[in-house]
Amino acid sequence: MNEIEYKIEPELSDRELNELFSSAWENYSERKFQSVLEKSLTYVSAFDGSCLVGFVNVAWDGGIHGFILDTTVHPEFQHRGIGSELMKRAARISAERGIEWLHVDYESHLDAFYVGCGFRKTVAGLLNLRVKTT
């Protein structure tokens, strides 16, 4: 195994990202990432040699708020500090680019991870726009 190399905004293909996401997320559906990456404040990737093993994206509102999205580490590389390092680098770059508040939504089983990354719990709302409501 190689030493993990972290890269800021490297050129990534949809294939690479979809392979990573399908390895880590159950019932994952392939998607196109290029327009998302072009609009991101930043994104950070982790590589084992030439293999993409971790990714985090920071979207933003054009002002002082950044939003952590798509934090993913390949299952064979989890629990090695890669996710924490991705978050640390994403937060540093976000601050350098003028972000004052970094937001993240996550499921409760990830509390320890995100609190360990410096986030504090807040209450937030979520509306699924793909599900019809009456």
Structural domains present in the chain? 4-116 (3.40.630.30)
**DSSP for residue 92:** H
Strands 42-48 and 4-8, sheet pairing: antiparallel
d(CA 6, CA 11): 13
pTM of the model: 0.89
Task: Please say whether the beta carbons of 90 and 68 come within 8 A.
Answer: yes
In tens digits, what is the pLDDT along the chain, a chain of 134 residues? Answer: 579 999 999 999 999 999 999 999 999 999 999 999 999 999 999 999 999 999 999 999 999 999 999 999 999 999 999 999 999 999 999 999 999 999 998 888 888 999 999 998 888 887 777 777 66
